[in-house]
Amino acid sequence: MEEAEKKILKISVRNLVELVLRSGDLDNRRTGGAEKTAMQEGSRIHRKIQRRMGADYRAEVALKHEVEVDQFQVLVEGRADGIIEKPEGVTIDEIKGIYMDLSYLTEPYPVHLAQAMCYGYFYCYDHQRNGAVVQMTYCNIETEEIRRFQVEKTFEELEIWFQGLIHEYMKWARYLYNHGMRRDESIRELSFPYPYRKGQKELVVAVYRSIARKRNLFIQAPTGIGKTLSTVYPAVKAIGEGLGDKLFYLTAKTITRAVAEEAFDILREHGLYLNSVTITAKEKLCFLETPECNPDACPYAKGHFDRVGDAVFEIIHKESGITREVVLGYAEEHRVCPFEFCLDISNWVDSVICDYNYVFDPNIRLKRYFSEGISGDYLFLTDEAHNLVPRAREMYSAAVYKEDFLLIKKVIKPMNQKLIRMLDRCNKELLEMKRECVSFQVMEDIRFFMTGIMTLFGELEKLLEASEDFEDRDLVLDFYFNLRDFLNIYDRLDDNYRIYTELLPDGRFMLRLFCINPAKNLKECLDKGNSTVFFSATLLPVRYYKELLSGDQEEYAVYAHSPFDQEKRLLMIASDVSSRYTRRNRREYQKVVDYMEKIVSAHKGNYMVFLPSYQYLKEIEAILKERPGLKQEFTYMSQASHMREQEREEFLKEFSEEREDSFVALCVMGGVFSEGIDLKEGRLIGAIIVGTGLPMVCTEQEILKGYFDARELNGFDYAYQYPGMNKVMQAAGRVIRTVRDEGVIALLDERFLKPDYQALFPREWDGYYEVQLKNVEEVARNFWSR
C-alpha cells in the first residue's frame, strides 16, 4: 500500500496510557488522588508553577510521534507541561494539581508517570538525545504545596517501554482501522431511509452544510417533520466525509434518548455500519441499591480495571446499538462496574447518546473528551434545545446554606477543633449577611467569605483523607463536594452572574452564585467540537436562544415548515377567560370547567387540559366533583406531583383504553406530560391550555428581569414571556404528531389575542378562531363535522 493511502489513527497520550496501564480496583472513597486530579484539571496551578520555573523552562510543548504498523500509522500526541533544557541534560516535567494532602503520596501514580515517559521518549527521538530525566510534579491545589519525583531513563529504556505500550494497543488500533473502513464505505452507500416529507430535505441539507462549514445551526421545526432522522442522517454522512469523528446526540429526557436509538437502528436497517452507546445515569445502571464504588462494598468494583478491557473489546465487536440493557448484560458477564464500563465503551464507538450533563456540566462532563486542552472533531446534536437554557443555568450556578455549616460543626465537634473554628468563621459571616437581608439581597463582593471557604475546604480534605470511616461521614463528604462546586463556580464569576442572598420559605438562609446567561460557559464546551445543531419544536424567538445558548446572533438558523394539513387542526383562542392572578376566583375556575365540558362534548376522544399550577388543578378538581352530571360527558384523571416512573407510565396507558365516553387528563403546564410524550394516531385529539405559562414571580425571575433590562433587552420578555410561551407551545405540540392526526388546540386566556403574544406564535398558527363560551361548542362541532 502506498504511503499516501495509509490510514492515520490518532490517540492522545493520556488515553493511550490509561487504556493499556490501568489495573486493580475501582475505588471512589478517597477524596483526592488520581480520580480528583483536577476538578479544574489544575490549570491555574499549572500556569502558576510554569511561570515560576525560569528561562530554561518551556511550558506546554506540543509533542507527537508516529508509529507505522502494517497498513496504517498510529499518531500519538499530547502536550508536555514543561521541558527544562540544560547543557547537562533535559528534564520532562508532568504537573498534576490534586486536592490531596501530599504527605500521603509516596510515589507517582503509574498512569501519570507513563504520560511523562511518553513525552520523554518523543522528545529524545525528535532531538536525538541519549536519555532524559522524567519528573512528576504534584501540587496541592489549595495549599500550593509541591512534591516532586524524578527518575532517569536512557533512550533505549524509553524506546523498549514505549514499543511495549504500542504492542498492547495494536489490537485496538486494528479494530479502529477495520471498523472505520467498513463504516465509511457503508455511509457512502447510505440513502435517506424514507421519502422526504415536505421541508425535510431542506432541513437535511442545512444540517450538512452547517457541519461542513464548522458553524452552529438553530432549527425551529414543528413536531412530526422527523427532526431526529433529519439531523442524524446528515451528521452521519458528514462523518463519512471526514467532517467529524464522533457524534454526540444530547437529550434532556430518557424518552428522547429512545427516539435517538430508534433513528440509528433505522439507518442500520438500511445498510449503515455504525455503532452507538447510550450513557445512562449511574443510579440507573448500578447493580447495588445505592452506588458504592469501592471493592469492599461492590464485587464489580473489585478488580474492575483488570477485566474491563476485555469486556469493552468484546462488546464493540459484537454489538452496534449499545443500550442500557446491553451494557448491563455484558457488565454482569464480565463482573465490571456498568457505569464505568459504559464510559469506556464511548471511546470506541462512533456515536454517544447522552444527557446534556455529560457534555456541559462541569462536575459530570466526560473528562476524557472535554477537559482543558482536550478537543476533537466532535459533532453535537442538541435535541429539545429549549430545555438547555434552564438546565445550563443550574449547571453553572451554586449555593451554600448557613444551616449546613452548623450541622457539620455538630458532626465533627469531637474530632477537629481547628475545623470548628473555620466553620464558626464562615457561619458568622453568613449571619452578618442574613441580618442585612430582608427577603433577598444582591451582593457585589464576597471575597473575604471565599477566603474562609477555601481554607475550610483544604482542612476538610485532610480530615477526609485521614479518616475513612466515622459516623455521618457521608454528610461531611456531601458538604465537602458542595464547597468544591461553590469554589469552582466562583472561579467562573463574570458579568453573566449575580451573587445574592435569600431567606427561603423553609427558614434556611442561602448564598447563591446565579448564572443568568450560560452562553459563555456552554461555548467553552461547544468550541471543543466542530459544529453544533440546536433543534426543537419550540425555539422561538430564535434571538432569545442564540443569546443564551451561543451568545452569537450571527449563527445560522432555519425555520422548517410544517408538513401537516392545516385543515386537520383547529386553533381557538378564548376572549372571555383569563388566568391572571387577579382573576383567579371561583367564577373564573367555573368558566374553565364550562369550556372543558363544551369542547369535550363536541367530539368523543382523549383530551389533555394543561393548568398553570397544582393549586389551580385542585380548584378545577373541586368544581368537577360538584358536578356529578359531567361524569356522563367524560372521565377525568389528574397528574400528581412527584410521580414515579411507573405511575407516569400508568397515567399514559389511560390514553390507550377503549371507552364509551371521552377521557380528560388534568395536567400541569411545564410538567412531565407537557413535552416529550408521543400520543399519536388518535390517542389524543385535543389540548386545552389555560394561561400563558408565565413563571411565578420569585427572586430568581426578578433578578433575570433586572439583568436583561440593564442590557436593554426587555427583561419581562426574557424572564417571563419567552419561557412561558415555550411551555404553551410544547403543550400544544402534543396534539398533532403524524400526518394522520387531527385535533383541537384551545388557548384559554384573553392575552393570547394581544399582538406581543401573537408575534411569538409559530407559523403554523397563522389562522385561529376567536371564541367565547357561547359559541365554542359550535366552532368545535363544525370542525369535527367538516
Reduce the DSSP state of residue 510 to 3 states and report it. strand
pLDDT of residue 212: 98
pLDDT of residue 390: 97
Grid cell locating 518: 450560560
CA–CA separation, 72 and 202 (whole Å):
38
The domains located in the chain, with CATH, are 3-172 (3.90.320.10), 189-395+519-559 (3.40.50.300), 403-514 (no CATH), 566-785 (3.40.50.300)
Grid cell locating 337: 462496574
pLDDT of residue 419: 94
Q: What is the pLDDT of residues 451-464, one digit of tens each?
A: 999 999 989 988 88
H helix count then E strand count, the chain: 28, 25
pLDDT of residue 38: 44
pTM (predicted TM-score) = 0.90
Three state DSSP letters for 227-275: HHHHHHHHHHHHHHCCCCCEEEEEECCHHHHHHHHHHHHHHHHCCCCCC
What is the DSSP secondary structure assignment for residue 628, as one 8-state letter? Answer: G
Residues of the chain with pLDDT under 50: 1-4, 31-41
CA–CA separation, 262 and 258 (whole Å):
6
Tell me the β-bridge partners of 95.
137
Task: Calculate the CA 146 to chain-centre distance.
Answer: 35
pLDDT of residue 45: 60
pLDDT of residue 3: 46
pLDDT of residue 31: 43
